[in-house]
């Protein structure tokens, strides 16, 4: 109330139940002040006396502020917004007198609906439920109507990757600014973040999360066949004001990123992060704390509307394992885990400097030493995992911005979905909106490639039913792949490509009828786990396959996919097989013999 030239406020401590009818009354008495009522009962008051100021010529808006205002519970006030009530408002009445104490209860009794409210939490869209044909699909994933209406997109705006043996999927959706998210069988979303950075002149960090209208972010399908899917996500990290970062004054180009997701039928996915930058080797400015940082991973859980972080994440939220098979599980039950000082200086020496004032927000996960396999323990059948190069690896727990009376985990709702809200940090106070929680950062690991114009990082990720230590064979097969040799006229070995998790073979004569023989020298330290062959220039003929001297017909366990290019047709062969001993794979032309 505007009273005697001052704004006077009364705030109730009562919390409204979600998705239910509530009858709310506020009264003002010049001799007493403000009284609040919830469902006919007193819910708060503020005593003061004074004369109210009225604005009879102003329009009255219901459910939305008349002028843009800063957000409550925001970490940093970035930009005022025209914020709207998300729900249903009915029976709005304004009286020109003070209601007696008994009137709110009588009004509630007379108007309380007899049935349930027509409200329910909107579902985060991820396509049809359950398993489906393995592949990538263009579609439009529709969310709540009021959020969907402003978008200016067609029916192929989003991308969904489905699997035929699990109900999981990988989603590239406008509501997350196309930041890829793994979706579990019970609808919990998870993402490994993106490339994030900041320069001293920026009020907020630059990241695709700030691109609420997806102006600089889009996804497209590069491959989709029986053996694998490849999706390209291209974006520019921007501030909430859509400022680019590290802009070249000559060309006007800022940092741009292409992330390639190479996905196989078993759900394994190689994330290749290629960053182009005018200043790729920039270091943190002295005295500027985390400004000028570069970050490529953050373990982020997206909480569906109507759920709290605790509904989706186990208190023992993270398990870390190393290449020796050692593991440790970290719990948030009492406090954010980790250590502020217990670390290996040589390992953390590769990190950008972290200022003293920021150490409270980051605690290092130092056990087991050299941990490079991270599992996020969700309340689902499947949970996310990440595997990175163990060299120079350093992982921290996100210990900052936790309000434990609300949640034992960090909890924000400025992303995803909040299309009209320019904010890079707004604490959640209730599970009324889609929200997210951050658990950890892989702050550092060995780059795959560094050039004068950028850097490339790799990680293996997906959803799994296995425990972190049980992912060791998969990690070894990718980080220390089994050596391989080939024989066959017209074929040459091109090595193992970790960016595709594939052994690459070149064929110079696609119309020849020669047989290709591949031997993988698998061992305990370099096992074969669902190996992949990429044969460039194979042609368009379907292969016949033999494994270890026996025919292996194409089907769920041996999948062949074709990549039809401008100049050649390539073959991708995915094989379901785990072995610590050598494996021999033979590919016969369609019209050739099938033998040993």
Tell me, letter by letter, the H, E, C secondary structure of 218-275. Answer: EEEEEEECCCCEEEEEEECCECCCCCCCCCCCCCCCCCEEEEEEEECCCCCEEEEEEE
Do 56 and 166 share a structural domain?
Answer: no
pLDDT value for 166: 97
Q: Map residue 175 onto helix, strand or coil.
A: helix
How far out from the chain centre does Cα 125 lie?
A: 14
Domain assignment present for residue 206? The answer is yes
Residue 134, CB half-sphere, CA atoms under 13 Å: how many?
23
Domain assignment present for residue 4? The answer is yes
pLDDT value for 525: 97
Domain of residue 337, residue span: 135-470
Listed in sequence order, the residues at least 6 apart from 139 whose beta carbon sits closer than 8 Å to its beta carbon are 127, 155, 156, 157, 158, 159, 160
How far out from the chain centre does Cα 12 lie?
A: 35
Token pair of 101 as six digits: 């104490």
Measured CA to CA, the distance from residue 159 to residue 440 in angstroms comes to: 27
pLDDT value for 289: 44
Do 42 and 6 share a structural domain?
Answer: yes
- Of 441, 470, 499, which marks where a domain is finished? 470
Do 518 and 459 share a structural domain?
Answer: no
Do 547 and 432 share a structural domain?
Answer: no
Do 440 and 559 share a structural domain?
Answer: no
Each residue's pLDDT tens digit, 259-279: 999 999 999 999 999 999 988
Do 217 and 106 share a structural domain?
Answer: no
pTM above 0.75, yes or no: yes
pLDDT value for 78: 80
- Of 425, 446, 470, which marks where a domain is finished? 470
Give me the CATH number covering residue 396: 2.70.98
Do 141 and 116 share a structural domain?
Answer: no
Domain assignment present for residue 439? The answer is yes
φ, ψ dihedrals at 229, nearest 5°: -125, 140
Measured CA to CA, the distance from residue 179 to residue 216 in angstroms comes to: 12
Do 144 and 47 share a structural domain?
Answer: no
Measured CA to CA, the distance from residue 363 to residue 229 in angstroms comes to: 37
pLDDT value for 247: 93
Domain assignment present for residue 593? The answer is no
Report DSSP state, residue 183.
Answer: E
Do 340 and 200 share a structural domain?
Answer: yes
Do 574 and 436 share a structural domain?
Answer: no
Domain assignment present for residue 531? The answer is yes
Query: Measuring CA to CA, how many Å separate 331 from each of 338, 357, 376?
Result: 9, 24, 11
pLDDT value for 344: 52
Each residue's pLDDT tens digit, 347-359: 444 443 333 334 4
Do 163 and 216 share a structural domain?
Answer: yes
Token pair of 194 as six digits: 């993106």
Domain assignment present for residue 70? The answer is yes
Give me the number of domains the chain comprises: 3
Whether the Cβ atoms of residue 388 and residue 458 lie closer than 8 Å to each other: yes
φ, ψ dihedrals at 193, nearest 5°: 75, -140
Do 62 and 88 share a structural domain?
Answer: yes
Domain assignment present for residue 595? The answer is no
Domain assignment present for residue 594? The answer is no
- Collect the ranges in the chain with pLDDT lower than 50: 284-290, 341, 343, 346-359, 591-596
Query: Measuring CA to CA, how many Å separate 351 from each of 306, 441, 453?
Result: 38, 12, 20
Which residues, listed in sequence order, are joined to residue 26 by a DSSP beta bridge? 36
- Of 429, 448, 470, which marks where a domain is finished? 470
């Amino acid at each position: 109330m505007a009273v005697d030239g001052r704004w006077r406020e009364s705030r109730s401590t009562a919390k409204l139940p979600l998705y239910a009818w509530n009858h709310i009354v506020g009264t003002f008495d010049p001799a007493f002040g403000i009284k609040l009522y919830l469902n006919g009962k007193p819910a708060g008051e503020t005593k003061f006396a004074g004369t109210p100021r009225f604005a009879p010529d102003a329009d009255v808006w219901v459910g939305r502020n008349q002028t843009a205002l800063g957000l409550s519970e925001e970490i940093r006030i970035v930009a005022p917004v025209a914020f709207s009530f998300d729900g249903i408002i009915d029976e709005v009445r304004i009286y020109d007198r003070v209601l007696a104490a008994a009137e709110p209860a009588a009004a509630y009794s007379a108007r309380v609906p007899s049935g349930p409210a027509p409200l329910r939490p909107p579902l985060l869209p991820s396509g049809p439920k359950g398993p489906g044909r393995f592949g990538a699909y263009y579609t439009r994933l529709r969310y709540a109507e009021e959020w969907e209406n402003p978008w200016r997109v067609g029916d192929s705006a989003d991308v969904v990757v489905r699997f035929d043996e699990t109900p999981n999927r990988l989603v590239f959706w406008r509501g997350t600014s196309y930041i890829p998210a793994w979706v579990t069988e019970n609808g919990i979303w998870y993402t490994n973040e993106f490339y994030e950075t900041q320069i001293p002149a920026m009020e907020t960090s630059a990241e695709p999360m700030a691109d609420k209208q997806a102006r600089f972010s889009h996804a497209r399908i590069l491959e989709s066949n029986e053996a694998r899917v490849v999706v390209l996500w291209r974006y520019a990290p921007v501030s909430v004001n859509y400022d680019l970062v590290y802009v070249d004054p000559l060309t006007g180009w800022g940092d741009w990123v292409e992330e390639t997701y190479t996905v196989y039928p078993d759900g394994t996915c190689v994330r290749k992060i290629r960053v182009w930058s005018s200043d790729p080797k920039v270091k943190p400015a002295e005295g500027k704390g985390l400004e000028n940082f570069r970050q490529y991973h953050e373990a982020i859980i997206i909480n569906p509307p109507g759920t709290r972080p605790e509904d989706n994440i186990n208190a023992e939220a993270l398990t870390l394992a190393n290449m020796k098979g050692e593991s440790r599980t970290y719990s948030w039950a009492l406090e954010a885990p980790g250590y502020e000082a217990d670390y290996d200086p040589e390992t953390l020496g590769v990190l950008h400097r972290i200022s003293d004032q920021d150490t409270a927000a980051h605690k290092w996960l130092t056990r087991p030493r050299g941990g490079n396999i991270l599992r996020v323990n969700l309340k689902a059948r499947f949970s996310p995992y990440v595997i990175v190069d163990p060299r120079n690896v350093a992982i921290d727990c996100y210990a900052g911005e936790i309000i434990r009376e609300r949640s034992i985990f960090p909890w924000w709702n400025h992303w995803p979905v909040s299309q009209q809200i320019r904010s890079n940090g707004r604490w959640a106070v209730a599970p009324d909106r889609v929200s997210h929680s951050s658990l950890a950062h892989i702050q550092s690991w060995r780059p795959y490639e560094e050039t004068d114009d950028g850097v490339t990082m790799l990680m293996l990720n997906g959803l799994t039913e296995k425990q972190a230590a049980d992912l060791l064979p998969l990690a070894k097969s990718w980080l220390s792949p089994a050596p391989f040799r080939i024989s066959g006229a017209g074929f040459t070995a091109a090595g193992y490509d970790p960016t595709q998790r594939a052994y690459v073979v070149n064929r110079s004569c696609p119309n020849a009828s020669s047989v290709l023989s591949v031997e993988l020298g698998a061992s305990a330290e370099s096992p074969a786990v669902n190996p992949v062959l990429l044969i460039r220039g194979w042609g368009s003929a379907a292969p016949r396959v033999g494994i270890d001297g026996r025919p292996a017909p194409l089907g769920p366990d041996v999948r062949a996919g074709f990549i039809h290019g401008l100049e050649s047709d390539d073959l991708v062969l995915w094989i379901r097989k785990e072995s610590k001993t050598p494996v021999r794979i033979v590919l016969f032309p369609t019209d050739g013999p099938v033998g040993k």
